[in-house]
Structure 1
Amino acid sequence: MTTQHVLQGRILSGNGWLDGTITLGADGRIAAIDGRLASGRAVERYILPGFIDLHVHGGGGVDIMEGGRAAEAVARLHAQHGTTAMLATTMTAPMDEIENVLAALGPCCRQRTPGTARLLGVHLEGPYINPGKLGAQPDDACRAVLSQIDKLGQLAPIALLTLAPEIPGHMEIIRALSDAGIRVQIGHTLGSYEDGVQALQQGAAGFTHLFNAMSGLHHREPGMVGAALAHAEYAELIPDLLHVHPGAIRTALRAIPRLYCVTDSTAAAGMPDGEYKLGSHAVTKCMGGVRLADGTLAGSTLTMDQALRNLLAIGLPLAEASHRLSLYPADYLGHADRGRLEAGAWADVLVLDDALNLLDVYLEGEHLVVSDV
């Protein structure tokens, strides 16, 4: 049962940094924030909104595609690292496997299990991608059909859907998907700059793991990366400092106003080096990354608390880094009561020390004891 909590520290409010207290109500929402504009004195505790991760394949040795209650185990691991809400992300697979996974995800999205991040829905990363740009996705790509997507959406809420717009028939259905409340992202694509611009005009809203698994930027052929840098309001990016060079991250930060960060984490997140599953693939964790046997990057081991520290390491101020891990992904999905600290919002709250180590996590007001993970 949720109880009231009063937390004290330097609070990232909607009005900037405040030194004061934040009261978490027994209803799981923020009751009040009281304080004054932050001074220059030393900080012992930072209080930030919980992280929102829109691209999560696994964690703690478990993969979303295992079905059953796998998503709960994944959401439990990531909650330990400050993720208070997330999207369960699928892999390309035969359609019967995707249906089985979504049938298992449906109840998990409707009811949050104590100690786990809230599942805001599904990110359907496959199978509607270009078979020539699979990245680490299995070779089961197929064309998108509205009736099939509607059937999947009846099993579990689809919040995001990644597709390659250059595949015949895909450009024409982007508007229908967007009108149905699904955020369409461009990814795993060999499409041109022109394809990207047209897809955005049709209603596509963002780009899946910007720079990775898409046609790159060249000054005479700007590619899908060029379309994103020139026209996108939102795009997701993996800041593990392996998938994207810090210089490219900073380029994207200057070009895309509400660039937000994801982990694209796999079962290997929070686990020792070794072999793990990523959909139907076997992947190996070593040297801080996850790869297929041929060396292809296959998701990450990243957690959102480390993503925060990585963003600061490349020069972002703490408030901006927080926005790109909490506020912007919440706004992207239209959740005005998450990703921010203000009265009435969900009490998804993080307490960190002055070195940005996670001390406490509150999940809709539920106090989570953070393990030494």
Structure 2
Amino acid sequence: MGKSILTNVRIITPFEEIFPGTIEIENGVIKRVYAGKNPIGENLEGKIIVPGFIDIHTHGIAGLDITYSSMNGSEDNVEETLLKMSEKYLSHGVTRFLPTTVTASHEVLLIASRGVKNAIAYQKKSCIGAIIEGLHLEGPYISKEKKGAQNPEFIRLPSIKELKEYWEASGGNIKTITIAPELEGSVEFISYARNLGIYISLGHTNATYEKTKAAIYAGANRATHLYNAMRPINHREPGVIIAVLESPQVYLEIITDLIHILPQIINFTIGHAGIERIVTITDSIIATDLPDGEYSLGGLKVIVKDGICRLEDGTLAGSTLTMDNALRNLVSIGIPLKDAVRTMTYNPARAVGLYKVGAILPSYSADLVIMDEELNIEAIYVRGEQAI
């Protein structure tokens, strides 16, 4: 790794904008950030530079899916799939991500865990594409009433015994788990997971306000795709949504395809909770970047029409959203660019304990996305090396 200087560019840190600004990179790390131009740097006049996007909730893309590969192959097949996914994500500005499983059998999730461990080990030797930061287990410990597009056949109660096996199989690379806090044994499970360093998100849940708050006190710090697959708000039972909204330590995932949540609700959530708690996710599935048609999610048939994913009964089943489109969507509904960028860089990093990434600051990893004024991606850097 060498040195590079990017100058005369609009920098979104994402806490503020610097224009014209300069970034100096050395050995894969941001060395200096300052206002003004550097005559020996690469002139990026008319361009915008932001931190690399971080997607902590994505199932698949371009015909590739972590759960599908685990159901239909070996851990080697999962590793190969994940490495291919990492290249696809990179083209949309994602420089780090958490491959996300759906509810499946114990054996399938063990295969997924081993595959993630192997893929992370491979990237340490030869990093191509977006960096895999660990595994997100979305289920199987969720509510059957709020299962959404999860396979009910494999939904079960929280099991510390199973978690120990997943943790060992993954080589300690489980980063986060989505759980329904009303399930028997959930508080004990959350406490155990947090002691391992696993971050807990509350989702696919029919929990009451009290059950949700108990889970937050136990260490849960995030809500999975807020509003979707959750008990709705009731004036006599505020439920999970009010509980997470009023808890300042809880990050809030939102799918910004403008289908799962309408613009009015996105703006309300940001206005109430504050931009520092919002985490933009894609919840993307295998059909992303592919034509409309029939696909699979965790063994369930998914029909994609006009880019919208649904089960046969009409239930939304993930999305075909990409992070660059998510950014454009947020800006289109009036969210300031720096705030929109923060929800897909710094915030997701903090939500799952990733440090020295997600911001354009000295000592941070030089993961950068260069865009034109229409927010189209023109170049991408991963650890200071131009990847696209």
Q: Of the candidates 116, 129, 135, which is equivalent to residue 148 of structure 2?
A: 135
User: Aligned equivalents of 1:228 and 1:14: distance in 2?
Assistant: 25
Matched AA of 2:101: T
What are the ranges of 5 or more consecutive residues in structure 2 without an aligned counterpart? 38-43, 71-76
Give the superposition deviation at 1:176.
2.0
Identical-pair percentage: 36
Answer with 82-91 or 175-184: which moved more: 175-184
- Which residue is 1:196 aligned to? 212
Q: Any residues of structure 2 matched to 1:1-373 within 5 Å, and which?
A: 2-8=1-7, 9-13=9-13, 16-18=16-18, 19-25=20-26, 27-36=27-36, 44-65=46-67, 66-67=69-70, 68=77, 69-112=80-123, 113-139=126-152, 140-156=154-170, 157-232=173-248, 233-257=250-274, 258-369=277-388
What are the ranges of 5 or more consecutive residues in structure 1 without an aligned counterpart? none
8 Å Cα contact 1:59/1:77 also seen in 2 = yes
In structure 2, do the counterparts of structure 1 residues 316 and 43 end up closer, same or farther at CA, with 3 Å as the change threshold?
farther
8 Å Cα contact 1:54/1:87 also seen in 2 = yes
Matched AA of 2:163: I
TM-score (norm 1): 0.93
Q: Secondary structure at the match of 1:231?
A: coil
1:147-204 alpha-carbon deviations (Å, 9 max, x no partner): 2202101122111111111111112221221122111111111111111111111111
Give the superposition deviation at 1:43.
6.8
Matched AA of 1:119: I
8 Å Cα contact 2:368/2:381 also seen in 1 = yes
Matched AA of 1:151: E
TM-score (norm 2): 0.90
Q: Secondary structure at the match of 2:133?
A: strand
Answer with 225-234 or 156-165: which moved more: 225-234
In structure 2, do the counterparts of structure 1 residues 29 and 217 end up closer, same or farther at CA, with 3 Å as the change threshold?
same
User: Aligned equivalents of 1:210 and 1:251: distance in 2?
Assistant: 12
- How many residue pairs match? The answer is 363
1:250-282 alpha-carbon deviations (Å, 9 max, x no partner): 121123231111000001111121222222122
User: Aligned equivalents of 1:15 and 1:286: distance in 2?
Assistant: 38
Q: Secondary structure at the match of 1:276?
A: strand
Give the superposition deviation at 1:330.
0.9
Matched AA of 1:349: L
Cα-Cα RMSD: 1.8
Matched AA of 2:136: H
Give the superposition deviation at 1:15.
6.5
User: Aligned equivalents of 1:114 and 1:270: distance in 2?
Assistant: 23
In structure 2, do the counterparts of structure 1 residues 284 and 73 end up closer, same or farther at CA, with 3 Å as the change threshold?
farther
